[in-house]
Amino acid sequence: MKEQSFLVEKALFPAAGYGTRFLPATKSVPKEMLPIVNKPLIHYGIKECMEAGIFNIGFVTGRNKRAIEDYLDNHPELEQKLDEKDALHYLEEVDEIINTCTFTYIRQKQMLGLGHAILTGKPLVGRDPFAVVLADDLCLGNPLREMQEIFKKYRASIVAVEEVPPEKINRYGVIKGKEIEEGVWIVEEMVEKPKPENAPSNLGVIGRYILTPTIFDYLENTPPGRGGEIQLTDALNTQAQEEIVIAYKLKGRRFDCGSVEGFIEATNYFYQLEKGERKENPKKEKDKKR
- Distance CA(8)–CA(31), nearest Å, equals 26
Q: Which is nearer to ligand G1P, 201 or 233 (CB)?
A: 233
Contact between 173 and ligand G1P per CB under 6 A: yes
Q: Which is nearer to ligand G1P, 146 or 256 (CB)?
A: 256
Contact between 117 and ligand G1P per CB under 6 A: no
Query: Which residues are registered as beta bridge partners of 157?
Result: 245
Cβ(187)–Cβ(177) under 8 Å? yes
Handedness of CA 268, 274, 275, 276 (dihedral sign): positive
φ/ψ (deg, to 5) at 23: -70, 145
Q: Which is nearer to ligand G1P, 129 or 258 (CB)?
A: 258
C-beta atoms surrounding 150 within 10 Å: 20
Contact between 205 and ligand G1P per CB under 6 A: yes
Among 46, 57, 119, 134, binds ligand G1P (CB under 6 A): 134
Contact between 114 and ligand G1P per CB under 6 A: yes
Among 207, 209, 230, 247, binds ligand G1P (CB under 6 A): 207
Closest CA to 256 of 165, 176, 186: 165
Taking CA 138 as the corner, what is the angle to CA 105 and CA 209, rounded to the nearest 5 degrees? 60
CB of 159 to ligand G1P, least distance (A): 8
Contact between 150 and ligand G1P per CB under 6 A: no
Contact between 192 and ligand G1P per CB under 6 A: yes
Stretch that binds ligand G1P, among 22-30, 34-42, 122-130, 205-213 (CB under 6 A): 205-213
Among 222, 233, 237, 238, binds ligand G1P (CB under 6 A): 233
Among 30, 194, 204, 225, binds ligand G1P (CB under 6 A): 204
Stretch that binds ligand G1P, among 51-59, 63-71, 101-109, 198-206 (CB under 6 A): 198-206
Query: Following DSSP, what letter does each residue of 213-278 receive, concatenated?
Result: TTHHHHHHTPPP-GGGS--HHHHHHHHHHHS-EEEEE--S-EEETTSHHHHHHHHHHHHHHHTTSS
Contact between 162 and ligand G1P per CB under 6 A: no
- Distance CA(209)–CA(54), nearest Å, equals 13
Residues that bind ligand G1P (CB under 6 A): 114, 134, 137, 172-173, 192, 204-207, 232-233, 258
